[in-house]
Amino acid sequence: MMIDQQTTINGLPADVLRPFPDKIRQLVDKIFGSGTLSPQATGSPTELMQQEGARVLVVNASGVNGIAQKTFDYLKAQGMNVLGPGIWLIIPTDIYTLRYRTGRC
């Protein structure tokens, strides 16, 4: 199913396994049967997405300023139910401690 190719990555020898797509297709057809698969849902992707009512949270963990807002605007324009935009903050666990009191809300 694969061909072993000798190559280098950053000057170091590396073995790369490259799949044979035709062989994979033959195996899939053998296991699951041949034929074409089609989505069970019908309609436009936008209508289906809106019917599902899924919510998408957009957060920026890339370090690129403004990318979350641009993505938010684009997805909103496509009709998605978008939450955000926000910034993904990673808080070191060794600095902060959460304490829960019992009996109080």
pTM over 0.85: no
Nearest in space to 60 (alpha carbons), one of 81, 83, 88: 88
Convert the pLDDT of each residue in 30-39 to its tens digit: 888 876 666 6
Convert the pLDDT of each residue in 71-88 to its tens digit: 899 989 988 888 878 777
Let me know how many helices (H) and strands (E) the chain has, helices first.
Answer: 3, 4
Nearest in space to 66 (alpha carbons), one of 92, 39, 43, 87: 87
What is the reported pLDDT for 3? Answer: 54
Percent of the chain with pLDDT over 90: 3
